[in-house]
Structure 1
């Protein structure tokens, strides 16, 4: 499998630690694949199959309430 094909198949696993989330929605705004949504004032993983493990949400979260890992690792 070429590196390009492997990169296209890369999928992430996003976890939102709800107790730490203050509901700022920064993660929702920065996610290029629109994986996250706001629900009842907290970030929620709505479309996990879209995640590419770019970790933009994790890097931007000021409360460290999001973790992103690559599936299978």
Structure 2
């Protein structure tokens, strides 16, 4: 029996993100990193950098203090 791996999609609101990197540190698959481009508030926001590895666990969204991350899971 083969187990199907869930695929996730992370949407980060770069204008809400303050670049704390809690999401990047929490992600078990290393799917998030800090952008080299700043947002309109002068912060370097997180970006979804490795979508192939995302499993949709939503740990990034849980730890985000700015509620800037939405996670979608493909069945």
TM over 0.5: yes
- TM-score class, shorter: 0.7 to 0.9
SS at match of 1:69: strand
Structure 2: gaps spanning 5 or more residues: 37-43
**Structure 1 unaligned runs (5+)?**
none
Structure 1 residue runs of 4 or more that deviate by more than 2 Å after TM superposition: none
What's the TM-score, normalizing by structure 1? 0.85
TM-score, normalised with respect to structure 2: 0.83
Aligned-residue CA RMSD in angstroms?
A: 1.4
Between the two proteins, the alignment pairs up a number of residues equal to 68
Structure in which a larger fraction of residues adopt helix? 1
